[in-house]
């Protein structure tokens, strides 16, 4: 008797992927090469011929990498706290991690306007500590934008790490401790290799989210800090130059993909995973 194939069950998913992902992507790529006389590389030449555009592309990649580092430094301790906690504390950590994700990204972005403003808690705290004599604003600064992006994207790295650690017995850490390893050595040689797959998933999600977060970049970063999504919006919404906007979007897609591949290769290096 012939074994039943599972192909019919994936046909709806394939049709949806072709209709809502592959086809729009093909149209986008087609627009980027379209000219009055047919196929052309003119729009890519215009993009790379302007030093400002290249600087915007570098700034976008740098913001993504900085957010990856920031969310990793914040997310790893929270995930380890979850791992060492009891049932009630774990439920609280999961609740506090998921609650921000149930709130619109726009709402969270506008909440940061209050936090980073002159009358916000950061400015008040710095004045109370005597670090500044007058109210300060972190709005329209790269540091303020980085703080907002780290908070908004933090759940994207905490959840993969928790998923990994939930399957890891706490006895691993206890066995290493009994063998004489200190806390730092336990973290580097035991926990870090175990968490690398979760970190990799989190890095990809955080970098992709940060690089394409138009609302937060535009509202918190302001007009002085321009990133690729704002550049695409300007070409489409103001200048109505769809072919150039499509070329910029394709460049962002390819550059983001290259960085994600690099992250994957680094995280799978044998010196990093050799202790796993």
pLDDT tens per residue across span 10-56: 888 899 999 888 999 999 999 899 887 788 888 899 888 889 988 99
**pLDDT band, residue 200 (cuts 50/70/90):** confident
Q: Please report which confidence band the pLDDT of residue 131 belongs to, taking 50, 70 and 90 as the band edges.
A: confident
User: Cβ contacts of residue 46 below 8 Å, gap of 6+?
Assistant: 244, 247
Q: What is the mean pLDDT of residues 196-212?
A: 88
Buried b (16+ CB within 10 A) or exposed e, 136-173: bebbebbebbbbbbbbbbbbbbbbbbbebbeeeeeeeb
Local confidence band at 275 (pLDDT 50, 70, 90 cut-offs): very low
pLDDT at 262: 81
pLDDT tens digits, one per residue of 222-266: 888 889 998 898 888 888 888 889 999 999 888 888 877 887 777
Average per-residue pLDDT for the chain: 86
Q: How confident is the model at residue 270 (pLDDT cuts 50, 70, 90)?
A: low
**Would the pTM count as exceeding 0.75?**
yes
C-alpha distance from residue 136 to each of 121, 131, 132, 145 (Å):
11, 11, 8, 15
Provide Rg for the chain, Cα atoms.
Answer: 23
The reported pLDDT for the residue numbered 8 is 80
- The pLDDT tens digits of the residues spanning 149-178 come to 999 999 999 999 999 888 888 777 778 878
| CB 130, CB 161: distance < 8 Å | no
In the predicted structure, residue 1 carries a pLDDT above the cut 70: no
The mean pLDDT of 109-117, rounded to a whole number, is: 90
Instruction: For 67-85, write each residue's pLDDT tens digit.
Output: 999 999 999 999 999 988 9
Binning pLDDT at 50, 70 and 90, where does residue 271 land?
low
119, pLDDT greater than 90 = no
Taking the CA of residue 70 as centre, how many other CA atoms within 13 Å lie in the half-sphere pointing to its CB? 21
Please give the pLDDT value at position 276: 45
Tokens of 71: 């969310």
């Amino acid at each position: 008797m012939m074994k039943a194939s599972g192909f019919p069950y994936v046909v709806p998913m394939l049709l949806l992927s072709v209709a809502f992902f592959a086809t729009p992507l093909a149209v986008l790529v087609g627009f980027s090469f379209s000219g009055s006389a047919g196929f052309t590389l003119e729009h890519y030449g215009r993009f790379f011929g302007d030093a400002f555009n290249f600087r915007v592309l570098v700034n976008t990649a740098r913001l993504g990498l900085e957010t990856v580092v920031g969310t990793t430094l914040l997310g790893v301790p929270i995930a380890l706290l979850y791992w060492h906690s009891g049932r009630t504390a774990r439920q609280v950590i999961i609740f506090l991690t998921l609650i921000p994700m149930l709130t619109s990204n726009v709402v969270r972005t506008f909440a940061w306007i209050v936090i980073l403003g002159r009358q916000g808690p950061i400015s008040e705290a710095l004045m109370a500590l005597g670090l500044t004599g007058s109210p300060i604003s972190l709005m329209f600064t790269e540091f303020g934008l980085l703080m907002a992006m780290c908070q908004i994207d933090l759940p994207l790295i905490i959840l993969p790490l928790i998923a990994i650690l939930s399957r890891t017995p706490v006895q691993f850490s206890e066995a290493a401790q009994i063998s004489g390893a200190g806390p730092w050595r336990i973290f580097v040689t035991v926990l870090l290799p175990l968490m690398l797959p979760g970190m990799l998933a989190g890095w990809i999600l955080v970098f992709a989210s940060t690089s394409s977060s138009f609302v937060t970049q535009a509202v918190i970063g302001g007009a002085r800090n321009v990133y690729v999504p704002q550049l695409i919006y300007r070409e489409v919404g103001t200048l109505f130059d769809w072919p150039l906007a499509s070329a910029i979007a394709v460049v962002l897609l390819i550059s983001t993909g290259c960085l994600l591949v690099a992250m994957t290769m680094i995280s799978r290096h044998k010196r990093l995973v050799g202790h796993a």
